[in-house]
Amino acid sequence: AKNKISKIGEGTFSEVLKTQSLKDGKFYACKTMKQTINSRELSNMKLLYCLNLVSRETGTVSLICELMEMNIYEFIQGRQTPLPDNTVKNYMYQLCKSLEHMHRYCGIFHRDVKPENILIKQNGLKLGDFGSCRSVYSKPPHTEYISTRWYRAPECLLTDGYYGLKMDMWSAGCVFFEIMSLSPLFPGTNELDQVAKIHDVLGTPDPSILQKLKQ
């Protein structure tokens, strides 16, 4: 059982509450999905019952997670002085290791790596919000909406769903720049402007590269 303390955040599909365990008194983050599950689906979710993640009364699904201090966006917002190099190196190492683990050992890619989804607690970093992830073995086109525009890879902008796990590395590079400079690298106002901002920094891709992209 948990005692609700305060709301930490809210997205399209879920809300996150700071909660306190009535058993050990420790604080946790409780992520509750807004969409309920019907009785037929509930019968197939015995594992979640065992983990106390599904409410039998309401049919809501909740995930109990470690309570982190803040996300990277909150950490650098309004900051006037650059972060120490060792801090940046430590955080980026952990971010890259998390992506390596996902891609190589879990067989999934995230699709929405951005400062708001990267959580920190003292010197520790964790990648969160796996609501957009896909299997590395799934075949394109991936037609669903993916990734926040500023961190979206060129292949996501220039093709109709022909992208893969490398998009996560592009997003990580954008995050790397933002942690170092305290400003986003490609803050496009729309998809066309996003492509233009990428070209302004990196130049127009060579025709041979563009020919590789699926129309």
Count Cβ atoms below 10 Å from residue 37 Cβ, excluding itself.
18
In contact, 44 and 16? CB cutoff 8 Å: no
For the chain, the 3-state helix, strand and coil shares in percent, each to the nearest 5, are: 40, 20, 40
| Residue of 24, 112, 129, 193 marked catalytic | 112
Residue range 70-212 forms a domain whose CATH class is mainly alpha
> In the chain, which segments carry CATH 1.10.510.10?
70-212
How many Cβ atoms are within 10 Å of 167's Cβ, its own excluded? 23
Q: Is 31 flagged in the annotation as binding? A: yes
Whether residue 24 lies in the annotated active site: no
CATH number of 2-66: 3.30.200.20
Each residue's pLDDT expressed in tens, for the chain with a length of 215 residues:
567 788 988 877 788 999 998 888 999 998 888 877 665 555 444 444 444 555 556 667 788 888 999 999 999 999 999 999 999 999 999 999 999 999 999 999 999 999 999 999 999 999 998 888 999 999 999 877 677 899 999 999 988 899 999 999 999 999 999 999 999 999 999 999 999 999 999 998 888 888 877 65
